[in-house]
Structure 1
């Protein structure tokens, strides 16, 4: 792709509000809110029978995306052939590994929205497929790229982070697998991956009361870096945070909605142009590993240690 032509993006799975939101924000690739890319093709995806969130809205979102001028294809492979880069925005994270496998072989940039993979083993397989085919792996919660968070994080070294946000769940996505992954992503973006310094973290959700809808989790890197993540099962659009760095204390407040997605899409365009991952691969694996450990700690009530 050339630096002048808008990147032609293809959506893989359209059962998320991100599908029409991404399409609108990119626009025609020239004078949209996020110039440099445009969504041209999409594949609806295959909703699981046990995932109502997908079943009940996939047709409406497909119609909405089609109404915005996007060509609907009958397979992810057809989308991959027609586009320069792929956006896996299917809301059911359990579909991500297989969808990724089907398009990674084309050797094009592939963004996996928010929930990269349900398990660390699957995430490692996805990165191996990408390496074998030469695909550029893109990932990350939109909250990571929100200007409010990036401004608060700054350039100083962070050593303690306190995050509060909604923690609802969905069928097949227990514990932190659904909305908690946003908080884990912000924690890793602030404090680093498991591959840095200590090489392991201990996750403790023993003080949580999931049955009462109240969750509190501490993630300790073992070298002075600590993240606390808390919230309730009722969804709200707000995520709050406090970041303690070598230069002092910074706070941020993020509101979910289309404007929050702008930083992510700008970063995706830049990564496609430069060929550099937007999230370091060790951080992708660390996010998945910490989510897994958090879920185990929530289930057992005891701390769980996970290594690099």
Structure 2
């Protein structure tokens, strides 16, 4: 059995709660989350020690201790990407396969630095929204997509990745500009590609399901409601990455996704105006 170590801002959160059982099931017991570190105790939640006692996971006092004892590493903090650089630096210098949870980084500059550390120290690493692995997206042909109009719930700041990730996975990284429209409560982001193709990310009220309409240059269209077990597909990809080194996500796609989110937030300050992205 190989062991996984969690490194988190605080451990009492949904991803940390669900991943251990899912990983053990998907790996047939070959992988087990055995160690964990949390930077702080969750405000108004379980302390890290209480959370670990409940889950049967050993709490360790430092990131270094988790790295030393674990075969593989998962940096969590899914809703606090501003801590990913601090939490990920030592893992990315360790050479041990590391997954960094969504959203990968708060900005393009940080994303590039994290990938540079991984490359310099030979650390296999990737990050992704689980929505990338939905069966409905996997079944689509990529060639000929002209526009893609996505919808889903949540705030743009931490939920837009679940729509932008499939857009980049299907349409590529050649993104030139973004425009923020919609309202402050229900935003829309237009994503303009260099060749004129376009995508739209729309945030509606809860509990709006994730979905998309994909239009092809041929005139055909596909309307999708995401109903498959995308977390199950993601976890299987994660297990494959740890066990074989295969799977994962192209770093260029992850950097593009972070860049769109960063500049989408900037575009919110000047609605209905195109904001140019930095040259790749």
Preserved contact between residue 190 and residue 200 of structure 2 (Cα < 8 Å): yes
Q: How do 1:263-278 and structure 2 match up within 5 A? A: 263-276=233-246, 278=248
Query: Partners in 2 of 1:125 and 1:277 — Cα distance?
Result: 22
**The residue matched to 1:177 in structure 2 has which SS?**
helix
Preserved contact between residue 142 and residue 170 of structure 2 (Cα < 8 Å): no
What TM-score, normalized by structure 2, do the two folds share? Answer: 0.88
What TM-score, normalized by structure 1, do the two folds share? Answer: 0.81
Query: Partners in 2 of 1:167 and 1:289 — Cα distance?
Result: 19
**The residue matched to 1:178 in structure 2 has which SS?**
helix
Partner residue, 1:215: 187
1:11 pairs, out of 6, 17, 41, with 6
Partner residue, 2:22: 25
Partner residue, 1:279: 249
Task: State the Cα distance separating 1:186 from its structure 2 match.
Answer: 1.6
Preserved contact between residue 161 and residue 244 of structure 1 (Cα < 8 Å): yes
Partner residue, 2:198: 226
Task: State the Cα distance separating 1:128 from its structure 2 match.
Answer: 0.9
Query: Partners in 2 of 1:108 and 1:237 — Cα distance?
Result: 38
Task: State the Cα distance separating 1:81 from its structure 2 match.
Answer: 1.1
Q: Which runs of 5+ in 2 are unaligned?
A: none
Quick check: 1:120 aligned with 2:108?
Answer: yes
Partner residue, 1:186: 166
Query: Partners in 2 of 1:246 and 1:37 — Cα distance?
Result: 44
Task: State the Cα distance separating 1:102 from its structure 2 match.
Answer: 2.1
Q: How do 1:123-138 and structure 2 match up within 5 A? A: 123-138=111-126
Q: How do 1:72-87 and structure 2 match up within 5 A? A: 72-87=59-74
Quick check: 1:244 aligned with 2:241?
Answer: no
Query: Partners in 2 of 1:155 and 1:25 — Cα distance?
Result: 30
Query: Partners in 2 of 1:186 and 1:275 — Cα distance?
Result: 22
Measured against aligned partners, the alpha-carbon deviations of 1:270-290 in whole angstroms (never above 9, x if no partner) come to: 122332461101001100110
**The residue matched to 1:300 in structure 2 has which SS?**
coil
Q: How do 1:63-74 and structure 2 match up within 5 A? A: 63-74=50-61
Measured against aligned partners, the alpha-carbon deviations of 1:88-110 in whole angstroms (never above 9, x if no partner) come to: 11131111011110211111111
Preserved contact between residue 138 and residue 268 of structure 1 (Cα < 8 Å): no
2:150 pairs, out of 148, 155, 163, with 163
Partner residue, 1:51: none
Residues 1:242 and 1:62: Cα distance change in structure 2 (over 3 Å) = farther
Quick check: 1:41 aligned with 2:41?
Answer: no
Measured against aligned partners, the alpha-carbon deviations of 1:137-176 in whole angstroms (never above 9, x if no partner) come to: 111001111223323x3454533211001132xxxxxxx3
Partner residue, 1:204: 179
Measured against aligned partners, the alpha-carbon deviations of 1:58-91 in whole angstroms (never above 9, x if no partner) come to: 52x7634432321111112211111111111113
C-alpha RMSD over aligned residues: 2.2
**The residue matched to 1:86 in structure 2 has which SS?**
strand
Residues 1:162 and 1:192: Cα distance change in structure 2 (over 3 Å) = same
Task: State the Cα distance separating 1:239 from its structure 2 match.
Answer: 0.7
Partner residue, 2:128: 140
Corresponding residue pairs, total: 273
